Structure 1
Amino acid sequence: MSDRNGFPNLSSMPSGLKPNWFIGIGAVLVLLGIFAFFDAVLTTLASVVFIGFLLIMTGIAYFAQAFAHRSVPGARFWIMALMGFCYVLGGFLLIQEPATGSLFLTAFLAGSLIASGIMRALWAFGQRDTPNWWTLVLSAVVALLTGIFIFVTLPWSGLWLIGTFIAIELIFGGMSVFSFGLALKNKGK
Protein backbone atom coordinates (compact mmCIF):
# COMPACT_ATOMS: atom_id res chain seq x y z
CA MET A 1 0.00 0.00 0.00
CA SER A 2 1.42 3.39 -1.02
CA ASP A 3 0.48 6.97 -0.32
CA ARG A 4 -0.40 9.41 -3.11
CA ASN A 5 3.30 10.12 -3.74
CA GLY A 6 4.11 6.45 -4.28
CA PHE A 7 5.95 5.99 -0.99
CA PRO A 8 5.13 3.01 1.25
CA ASN A 9 2.40 3.78 3.74
CA LEU A 10 3.76 3.18 7.24
CA SER A 11 0.34 2.13 8.49
CA SER A 12 0.57 -0.95 6.25
CA MET A 13 4.03 -1.95 7.49
CA PRO A 14 4.30 -5.32 9.22
CA SER A 15 4.05 -5.18 12.97
CA GLY A 16 7.00 -6.20 15.06
CA LEU A 17 9.54 -3.86 13.42
CA LYS A 18 11.80 -2.42 16.08
CA PRO A 19 12.43 1.29 15.33
CA ASN A 20 15.39 1.57 17.71
CA TRP A 21 17.24 -1.14 15.78
CA PHE A 22 16.86 0.86 12.55
CA ILE A 23 17.93 4.05 14.31
CA GLY A 24 20.98 2.32 15.83
CA ILE A 25 22.04 0.59 12.62
CA GLY A 26 21.56 3.83 10.69
CA ALA A 27 23.73 5.72 13.17
CA VAL A 28 26.46 3.06 12.96
CA LEU A 29 26.40 3.16 9.14
CA VAL A 30 26.69 6.97 9.15
CA LEU A 31 29.63 6.82 11.57
CA LEU A 32 31.35 4.15 9.44
CA GLY A 33 30.75 6.31 6.38
CA ILE A 34 32.30 9.33 8.06
CA PHE A 35 35.31 7.24 9.08
CA ALA A 36 35.59 5.86 5.53
CA PHE A 37 35.34 9.38 4.10
CA PHE A 38 38.16 10.68 6.29
CA ASP A 39 40.40 7.74 5.41
CA ALA A 40 39.30 6.94 1.86
CA VAL A 41 42.70 5.45 0.99
CA LEU A 42 42.50 2.88 3.78
CA THR A 43 38.89 2.12 2.84
CA THR A 44 39.90 1.64 -0.79
CA LEU A 45 42.76 -0.70 0.07
CA ALA A 46 40.65 -2.69 2.54
CA SER A 47 37.86 -3.10 -0.01
CA VAL A 48 40.32 -4.30 -2.66
CA VAL A 49 41.72 -6.89 -0.24
CA PHE A 50 38.15 -7.97 0.55
CA ILE A 51 37.40 -8.31 -3.18
CA GLY A 52 40.56 -10.42 -3.45
CA PHE A 53 39.28 -12.80 -0.77
CA LEU A 54 35.94 -13.02 -2.56
CA LEU A 55 37.70 -13.91 -5.80
CA ILE A 56 39.68 -16.65 -4.05
CA MET A 57 36.49 -18.12 -2.58
CA THR A 58 34.89 -18.02 -6.03
CA GLY A 59 37.90 -19.78 -7.53
CA ILE A 60 37.72 -22.48 -4.88
CA ALA A 61 34.03 -22.98 -5.72
CA TYR A 62 34.92 -23.38 -9.41
CA PHE A 63 37.60 -25.93 -8.54
CA ALA A 64 35.11 -27.86 -6.41
CA GLN A 65 32.61 -27.76 -9.26
CA ALA A 66 35.22 -28.95 -11.74
CA PHE A 67 36.33 -31.90 -9.61
CA ALA A 68 32.79 -32.83 -8.58
CA HIS A 69 31.77 -33.20 -12.23
CA ARG A 70 35.02 -34.32 -13.84
CA SER A 71 33.55 -37.64 -14.98
CA VAL A 72 30.35 -36.12 -16.43
CA PRO A 73 30.45 -36.04 -20.25
CA GLY A 74 30.38 -32.50 -21.61
CA ALA A 75 31.12 -30.94 -18.20
CA ARG A 76 34.38 -29.47 -19.50
CA PHE A 77 36.54 -30.10 -16.45
CA TRP A 78 39.46 -28.09 -17.78
CA ILE A 79 37.36 -24.98 -18.48
CA MET A 80 35.98 -24.95 -14.92
CA ALA A 81 39.42 -25.65 -13.47
CA LEU A 82 40.95 -22.85 -15.58
CA MET A 83 38.25 -20.43 -14.43
CA GLY A 84 38.94 -21.42 -10.82
CA PHE A 85 42.65 -20.86 -11.34
CA CYS A 86 42.06 -17.42 -12.86
CA TYR A 87 39.81 -16.36 -9.98
CA VAL A 88 42.28 -17.56 -7.36
CA LEU A 89 45.19 -15.91 -9.17
CA GLY A 90 43.28 -12.63 -9.50
CA GLY A 91 42.36 -12.75 -5.82
CA PHE A 92 45.94 -13.34 -4.72
CA LEU A 93 47.17 -10.52 -6.96
CA LEU A 94 44.64 -8.09 -5.45
CA ILE A 95 45.62 -9.12 -1.93
CA GLN A 96 49.36 -8.89 -2.66
CA GLU A 97 49.12 -5.49 -4.38
CA PRO A 98 45.96 -3.69 -3.24
CA ALA A 99 47.22 -0.29 -4.45
CA THR A 100 47.82 -1.63 -7.95
CA GLY A 101 44.51 -3.48 -7.78
CA SER A 102 42.65 -0.31 -6.83
CA LEU A 103 44.31 1.50 -9.73
CA PHE A 104 43.22 -1.27 -12.10
CA LEU A 105 39.64 -1.27 -10.76
CA THR A 106 39.46 2.52 -10.99
CA ALA A 107 40.78 2.49 -14.56
CA PHE A 108 38.19 -0.17 -15.41
CA LEU A 109 35.47 2.02 -13.88
CA ALA A 110 36.68 5.03 -15.89
CA GLY A 111 36.67 3.02 -19.12
CA SER A 112 33.20 1.64 -18.38
CA LEU A 113 31.82 5.14 -17.74
CA ILE A 114 33.38 6.49 -20.93
CA ALA A 115 32.00 3.59 -22.99
CA SER A 116 28.60 3.97 -21.32
CA GLY A 117 28.55 7.70 -22.09
CA ILE A 118 29.37 7.09 -25.75
CA MET A 119 26.75 4.35 -26.07
CA ARG A 120 24.10 6.49 -24.36
CA ALA A 121 24.89 9.41 -26.65
CA LEU A 122 24.52 7.22 -29.75
CA TRP A 123 21.25 5.87 -28.40
CA ALA A 124 20.01 9.36 -27.50
CA PHE A 125 20.67 10.78 -30.95
CA GLY A 126 18.68 7.91 -32.41
CA GLN A 127 15.74 8.99 -30.24
CA ARG A 128 15.60 12.67 -31.24
CA ASP A 129 11.92 12.46 -32.15
CA THR A 130 11.05 11.30 -28.60
CA PRO A 131 9.98 13.99 -26.11
CA ASN A 132 12.65 14.77 -23.49
CA TRP A 133 15.35 12.97 -25.48
CA TRP A 134 17.77 15.61 -24.22
CA THR A 135 17.71 13.90 -20.80
CA LEU A 136 19.38 10.92 -22.45
CA VAL A 137 22.03 13.26 -23.87
CA LEU A 138 22.52 14.84 -20.44
CA SER A 139 22.95 11.39 -18.90
CA ALA A 140 25.49 10.52 -21.60
CA VAL A 141 27.46 13.72 -21.01
CA VAL A 142 27.56 13.17 -17.24
CA ALA A 143 28.76 9.57 -17.64
CA LEU A 144 31.35 10.57 -20.25
CA LEU A 145 32.72 13.51 -18.26
CA THR A 146 32.82 11.47 -15.05
CA GLY A 147 34.77 8.72 -16.81
CA ILE A 148 37.17 11.23 -18.35
CA PHE A 149 37.67 12.98 -15.00
CA ILE A 150 38.47 9.70 -13.29
CA PHE A 151 40.81 8.65 -16.10
CA VAL A 152 42.82 11.89 -16.23
CA THR A 153 43.29 11.87 -12.45
CA LEU A 154 44.79 8.38 -12.47
CA PRO A 155 46.87 7.10 -10.67
CA TRP A 156 45.97 9.45 -7.82
CA SER A 157 42.22 8.78 -8.07
CA GLY A 158 42.91 5.05 -7.87
CA LEU A 159 43.76 5.42 -4.20
CA TRP A 160 40.77 7.42 -2.99
CA LEU A 161 37.88 6.98 -5.42
CA ILE A 162 36.60 3.53 -4.38
CA GLY A 163 36.83 4.46 -0.70
CA THR A 164 34.99 7.72 -1.32
CA PHE A 165 32.18 5.92 -3.15
CA ILE A 166 31.90 3.44 -0.28
CA ALA A 167 31.83 6.30 2.24
CA ILE A 168 29.07 8.11 0.34
CA GLU A 169 27.00 4.92 0.12
CA LEU A 170 27.44 4.23 3.85
CA ILE A 171 26.45 7.78 4.82
CA PHE A 172 23.37 7.96 2.60
CA GLY A 173 22.33 4.39 3.36
CA GLY A 174 22.73 5.06 7.07
CA MET A 175 20.71 8.27 6.89
CA SER A 176 17.86 6.49 5.10
CA VAL A 177 17.79 3.61 7.62
CA PHE A 178 17.99 6.12 10.50
CA SER A 179 15.12 8.23 9.13
CA PHE A 180 13.06 5.09 8.51
CA GLY A 181 13.54 4.11 12.14
CA LEU A 182 12.48 7.59 13.26
CA ALA A 183 9.38 7.35 11.09
CA LEU A 184 8.52 3.98 12.62
CA LYS A 185 9.08 5.40 16.09
CA ASN A 186 6.86 8.42 15.39
CA LYS A 187 4.19 6.14 13.95
CA GLY A 188 4.14 4.16 17.16
CA LYS A 189 3.44 7.24 19.30
Structure 2
Amino acid sequence: MNTHVGNRWLRFVLLGIASIALGAFAWIDAISVTLASTVLFGVIFIIAGAFQLAHAFSCREWSSRLLSALLGCLYILGGMLLIEEPATGSAFITAFIAISMVIGGAVRSMIAFQNRALSGWWMMMLGGLVTIAIGVMLYATLPWSGLWLVGTLIACELIFAGIGWVQFGLALRRGTVVIERNF
Protein backbone atom coordinates (compact mmCIF):
# COMPACT_ATOMS: atom_id res chain seq x y z
CA MET A 1 0.00 0.00 0.00
CA ASN A 2 1.35 3.44 -0.95
CA THR A 3 0.74 6.52 1.16
CA HIS A 4 1.26 9.94 -0.34
CA VAL A 5 2.89 12.19 2.28
CA GLY A 6 4.32 14.96 0.13
CA ASN A 7 1.74 17.46 1.36
CA ARG A 8 2.65 16.75 4.99
CA TRP A 9 6.29 17.85 4.75
CA LEU A 10 5.90 20.41 7.51
CA ARG A 11 5.08 17.70 10.05
CA PHE A 12 8.43 16.06 9.36
CA VAL A 13 10.25 19.38 9.64
CA LEU A 14 8.51 20.13 12.96
CA LEU A 15 9.38 16.66 14.25
CA GLY A 16 12.99 17.34 13.33
CA ILE A 17 13.02 20.74 15.00
CA ALA A 18 11.51 19.25 18.17
CA SER A 19 14.12 16.48 18.16
CA ILE A 20 16.96 18.97 17.68
CA ALA A 21 15.61 21.14 20.52
CA LEU A 22 15.33 18.14 22.85
CA GLY A 23 18.83 17.07 21.86
CA ALA A 24 20.21 20.54 22.61
CA PHE A 25 18.47 20.51 25.98
CA ALA A 26 19.89 17.06 26.71
CA TRP A 27 23.37 18.24 25.73
CA ILE A 28 23.13 21.26 28.04
CA ASP A 29 22.32 19.02 31.00
CA ALA A 30 23.90 15.71 29.97
CA ILE A 31 24.46 14.68 33.59
CA SER A 32 20.76 14.87 34.45
CA VAL A 33 19.86 13.01 31.26
CA THR A 34 22.42 10.32 32.12
CA LEU A 35 21.05 9.88 35.63
CA ALA A 36 17.43 9.87 34.42
CA SER A 37 18.31 7.30 31.73
CA THR A 38 20.02 5.11 34.29
CA VAL A 39 16.91 5.21 36.50
CA LEU A 40 14.79 4.34 33.45
CA PHE A 41 17.11 1.39 32.70
CA GLY A 42 16.56 0.31 36.30
CA VAL A 43 12.78 0.40 35.89
CA ILE A 44 13.05 -1.58 32.66
CA PHE A 45 15.22 -4.19 34.40
CA ILE A 46 12.69 -4.53 37.22
CA ILE A 47 9.82 -5.00 34.76
CA ALA A 48 11.85 -7.54 32.76
CA GLY A 49 12.73 -9.37 35.98
CA ALA A 50 9.08 -9.51 37.03
CA PHE A 51 8.13 -11.02 33.67
CA GLN A 52 11.03 -13.47 33.95
CA LEU A 53 9.86 -14.56 37.41
CA ALA A 54 6.24 -14.87 36.29
CA HIS A 55 7.37 -16.98 33.35
CA ALA A 56 9.52 -19.19 35.56
CA PHE A 57 6.65 -19.86 37.95
CA SER A 58 4.15 -20.45 35.15
CA CYS A 59 6.30 -23.23 33.62
CA ARG A 60 6.41 -25.64 36.55
CA GLU A 61 7.42 -28.62 34.40
CA TRP A 62 10.40 -26.81 32.83
CA SER A 63 13.73 -28.18 34.05
CA SER A 64 15.38 -24.75 33.90
CA ARG A 65 12.67 -23.03 35.93
CA LEU A 66 14.96 -22.40 38.91
CA LEU A 67 17.67 -20.81 36.74
CA SER A 68 15.06 -18.68 35.02
CA ALA A 69 13.71 -17.52 38.40
CA LEU A 70 17.26 -16.72 39.52
CA LEU A 71 17.78 -14.65 36.39
CA GLY A 72 14.55 -12.77 37.09
CA CYS A 73 15.72 -12.02 40.62
CA LEU A 74 19.05 -10.76 39.28
CA TYR A 75 17.25 -8.45 36.85
CA ILE A 76 15.15 -7.06 39.69
CA LEU A 77 18.17 -6.64 41.96
CA GLY A 78 20.14 -4.94 39.18
CA GLY A 79 17.24 -2.62 38.45
CA MET A 80 16.88 -1.69 42.10
CA LEU A 81 20.60 -0.95 42.32
CA LEU A 82 20.45 1.27 39.20
CA ILE A 83 17.54 3.21 40.71
CA GLU A 84 19.18 3.45 44.13
CA GLU A 85 22.60 4.55 42.80
CA PRO A 86 22.20 5.99 39.29
CA ALA A 87 25.66 7.64 39.33
CA THR A 88 27.35 4.32 40.08
CA GLY A 89 25.10 2.59 37.55
CA SER A 90 26.01 5.08 34.85
CA ALA A 91 29.70 4.45 35.60
CA PHE A 92 29.14 0.71 35.07
CA ILE A 93 27.27 1.40 31.81
CA THR A 94 30.11 3.66 30.68
CA ALA A 95 32.71 1.03 31.61
CA PHE A 96 30.80 -1.51 29.52
CA ILE A 97 30.68 0.92 26.57
CA ALA A 98 34.41 1.71 26.95
CA ILE A 99 35.40 -1.97 27.05
CA SER A 100 33.14 -2.70 24.07
CA MET A 101 34.77 0.13 22.14
CA VAL A 102 38.28 -1.16 22.87
CA ILE A 103 37.34 -4.69 21.79
CA GLY A 104 35.42 -3.49 18.72
CA GLY A 105 38.23 -1.16 17.68
CA ALA A 106 40.79 -3.93 18.10
CA VAL A 107 38.74 -6.34 16.00
CA ARG A 108 38.22 -3.71 13.29
CA SER A 109 41.97 -2.95 13.29
CA MET A 110 42.80 -6.66 12.94
CA ILE A 111 40.34 -7.00 10.05
CA ALA A 112 41.91 -3.97 8.36
CA PHE A 113 45.43 -5.33 8.88
CA GLN A 114 44.44 -8.72 7.46
CA ASN A 115 43.03 -6.97 4.38
CA ARG A 116 45.81 -4.43 3.84
CA ALA A 117 46.08 -5.51 0.20
CA LEU A 118 42.82 -3.64 -0.42
CA SER A 119 42.95 0.04 -1.20
CA GLY A 120 41.70 2.20 1.63
CA TRP A 121 42.39 -0.44 4.30
CA TRP A 122 44.14 2.21 6.35
CA MET A 123 40.85 4.12 6.81
CA MET A 124 39.36 1.11 8.55
CA MET A 125 42.55 0.76 10.59
CA LEU A 126 42.42 4.44 11.55
CA GLY A 127 38.77 4.11 12.57
CA GLY A 128 39.61 1.10 14.72
CA LEU A 129 42.51 2.88 16.39
CA VAL A 130 40.38 5.97 17.09
CA THR A 131 37.68 3.73 18.61
CA ILE A 132 40.31 2.07 20.83
CA ALA A 133 41.63 5.48 21.92
CA ILE A 134 38.15 6.76 22.78
CA GLY A 135 37.39 3.58 24.73
CA VAL A 136 40.65 3.86 26.68
CA MET A 137 40.04 7.56 27.41
CA LEU A 138 36.49 6.86 28.62
CA TYR A 139 37.71 4.07 30.87
CA ALA A 140 40.64 6.13 32.16
CA THR A 141 38.34 9.01 33.14
CA LEU A 142 35.84 6.87 35.07
CA PRO A 143 33.82 7.59 37.16
CA TRP A 144 33.53 11.15 35.79
CA SER A 145 32.94 10.08 32.20
CA GLY A 146 30.09 7.93 33.50
CA LEU A 147 28.21 11.05 34.52
CA TRP A 148 28.05 12.64 31.08
CA LEU A 149 28.53 9.90 28.45
CA VAL A 150 25.03 8.41 28.24
CA GLY A 151 23.38 11.85 28.26
CA THR A 152 25.75 13.09 25.56
CA LEU A 153 25.06 10.03 23.38
CA ILE A 154 21.32 10.56 23.76
CA ALA A 155 21.74 14.25 22.89
CA CYS A 156 23.77 13.41 19.78
CA GLU A 157 21.21 10.84 18.66
CA LEU A 158 18.34 13.30 19.07
CA ILE A 159 20.19 16.06 17.20
CA PHE A 160 21.25 13.86 14.29
CA ALA A 161 17.80 12.25 14.05
CA GLY A 162 16.28 15.74 14.05
CA ILE A 163 18.57 16.89 11.25
CA GLY A 164 17.52 13.81 9.29
CA TRP A 165 13.81 14.53 9.79
CA VAL A 166 14.22 18.18 8.78
CA GLN A 167 16.13 17.16 5.67
CA PHE A 168 13.48 14.54 4.86
CA GLY A 169 10.66 17.06 5.28
CA LEU A 170 12.40 19.60 3.07
CA ALA A 171 12.96 16.92 0.43
CA LEU A 172 9.24 16.17 0.55
CA ARG A 173 8.51 19.85 0.05
CA ARG A 174 10.76 20.04 -3.02
CA GLY A 175 9.18 17.07 -4.75
CA THR A 176 6.51 14.45 -4.50
CA VAL A 177 7.74 11.43 -2.60
CA VAL A 178 5.83 8.23 -2.18
CA ILE A 179 6.50 6.12 0.91
CA GLU A 180 5.61 2.44 0.83
CA ARG A 181 4.23 0.70 3.85
CA ASN A 182 5.31 -2.89 4.16
CA PHE A 183 3.17 -4.70 6.66
TM score, norm. by length of structure 2: 0.88
> Which stretches in structure 2 are left out of the alignment for 5+ residues?
177-183
Give the number of the structure with larger relative contact order, counting CA–CA contacts within 8 Å between residues 6 or more apart: 2
Measure how far apart 1:131 and its partner are. Answer: 3.2
SS at match of 2:115: coil
Alignment of 1:1-189 (within 5 A): 14-16=3-5, 18-72=8-62, 74=63, 76-187=64-175
Which consecutive aligned stretches of 4+ in structure 1 deviate over 4 angstroms post-superposition? none
Q: Distance in 1 between matches of 2:109 and 2:173?
A: 46
CA–CA separation in structure 2 for the residues paired with 1:63 and 1:22? 42
3-state SS of 2:127 partner: helix
Structure 2 counterpart of 1:122, one-letter code? M
How far, CA to CA, are the matches of 2:39 and 2:95 in structure 1?
17
How far does residue 184 in structure 1 lie from its aligned partner after superposition? Answer: 1.4
Alignment RMSD (CA, Å): 1.6
Which digits, 9 at most, give the CA deviation of each residue in 1:12-43, with x for residues without a partner?
x7314622221221111111001000000001
Secondary structure in 1 matching 2:3: coil
* Mapped partners of 1:138, 1:14: distance in 2: 43
How far 1:136 moved relative to its partner?
2.5
The sequence identity of aligned pairs, in percent, is 43
Instruction: Read off the aligned partner of 2:151 and give its amino acid letter.
Output: G
Query: Taking structure 1 as the reference length, what is the TM-score of the superposition?
Result: 0.85
User: How many residues end up aligned between the 2 structures?
Assistant: 174
Shift, 1:164, TM fit:
0.7
**CA distance 1:129–1:16, shift in 2 (3 Å):** closer
State the Cα deviation string for residues 18-70 of structure 1 (Å, max 9, x = none): 22221221111111001000000001001111111111111111112111212
| Alignment match, 1:3 | none
Partner SS state of residue 14, structure 1: strand
Unaligned runs of 5+ in 1: 1-12
